[in-house]
Amino acid sequence: MNKTLTSLNTSFLILLFLSLIFSMFSIPNLNIDEKQSIKVNFYELIPQDDILFDSSAPDTLIKKETKKISEINEKINTDETSIISKFKINKLDIKNEISKIKLSKEREDILRVSAIIQERISSIWIKPNSLSESLTAKVLINLAPSGEILNFSLIKPSSNTSFNESILTTMNKMTFFEEVLFLERKLFEKNFRNFNLVFKSSGEIE
């Protein structure tokens, strides 16, 4: 038994020795001339940050993509600035338009109420028949916010007494103008708290 083990060990050592010798002879010789240059891709050793930001780096795909991203970001910033600028302009335009609409609405209300008041007075005004000249007379009217006529006076009478009396008679019949109740208080105070009416011999009231 011992002889068998010894024989096996010996055979194993012989095979191992032969294998070592064979491997040594199978390695190819690398003959390098002292003057021979070895090509090395140095750009593979350059850090990624240098490729992205160093202008002397090769024009690699990464650098191109970085340039594209930079251009896109610049365009986005420009578009945002343009949008903000347009928004400011549009906001100012909208404010002006709202102001114009409000003024237009106020003017419409003033004209509407004035026309109603003039029409109501004209409907009961009886003018003298024997008027041969063009006459005008101005009346100042003072109203309460409720529309009640607090006072009126003939501040600029005409030269014709009967014409003036017809106006005063008409105004004495009026007690209030409820149309002003629907006006904003600020608008009422500015335009109808105290206002003038001009009576003309032609029958018009302005």
pLDDT tens, residue order, the chain (206 aa): 555 656 666 776 777 767 766 666 555 554 545 555 545 454 444 454 444 444 554 556 566 666 667 777 676 667 666 665 655 556 666 666 666 676 788 899 999 999 999 999 999 999 988 877 899 999 999 999 999 999 999 999 999 999 999 999 999 999 989 989 989 999 999 999 999 999 999 889 99
Q: Write down the CATH number for the domain with range 44-206.
A: 3.30.1150.10
**Residues in contact with 188: Cβ distance below 8 Å, sequence separation at least 6, in sequence order:** 143, 145, 180
Q: What is the rounded (10 degree) CA torsion for 177, 178, 181, 183?
A: -60
Instruction: Note whether 150 and 144 are within 8 A (CB).
Output: yes
pTM value?
0.52
Domain residues of the chain, as ranges? 44-206
